[in-house]
Amino acid sequence: MANPCVDLSGIFPPIPTPFDSSGNIDQGALKQHLEFLGGFNLRGVVVMGSNGEAVHLSIEERIQLLEVSRDLVPESKLLIAGTGCPSTKQTIEISKRSADIGANAVLVLPPHYYKGRMTTEVLTRHFHAVADGCSVPVILYNMPACTGIELNADTIATIAEHPNIIGLKDSGGDVVKLGALHQRLGDGFQLLAGSASFLLPALAMGAVGGVLALANIAPGQCLAIRQLALAGDWNKAREIQLRMIEVNAAVTQRWGVAGLKAAMSLLGLDGGYVRAPLLDLEASAIDLLKTILIDSQIL
Q: Which residues are catalytic?
A: 169
With vertex at residue 227, the alpha carbon angle to CA 185 and CA 156, rounded to the nearest 5 degrees, is 20
